[in-house]
Amino acid sequence: MSGQGSAGNVIAAVCSFFIPGLGQLVQGRLLAAILYFIAAAILWIVLLGWIIHLVSILDAALYVPPHLRRHDAARHAHG
């Protein structure tokens, strides 16, 4: 997937809207997906799952892959 704001991130955010962690899984971030899913499941028991649900959506939407972060940092340092 491309960088932040890409169609891939939008798809990932929509996936996380339906199931917390699914967007991270779509992005290939297995550990993050598992953590968001488990955290949401636990927090929904005490009716606070919506918080981690929203965080999961935002994380998927704003994710920038590490290889693009390094590229942007190098570009800004020379610009």
**CA-to-CA distance for 33 and 20, rounded, in angstroms?**
8
Q: What angle do CA 26, 29, 35 make, to 5 degrees?
A: 105
Q: What is the pLDDT of residue 1?
A: 45
Asked if the model's pLDDT at residue 3 lies above 70, the reply is no
Per DSSP, the chain holds a count of helices (H) and strands (E) of 5, 0
* pLDDT at res. 75: 58
Place of tokens 């028991």: 45
Q: What is the pLDDT of residues 12-68, one digit of tens each?
A: 888 888 888 888 899 898 999 999 889 888 887 777 777 777 777 777 777 778 877
| The pLDDT of residue 48 | 75
The encoded tokens of residue 44 equal 């929904």
- For residue 8, the model assigns a pLDDT of 79
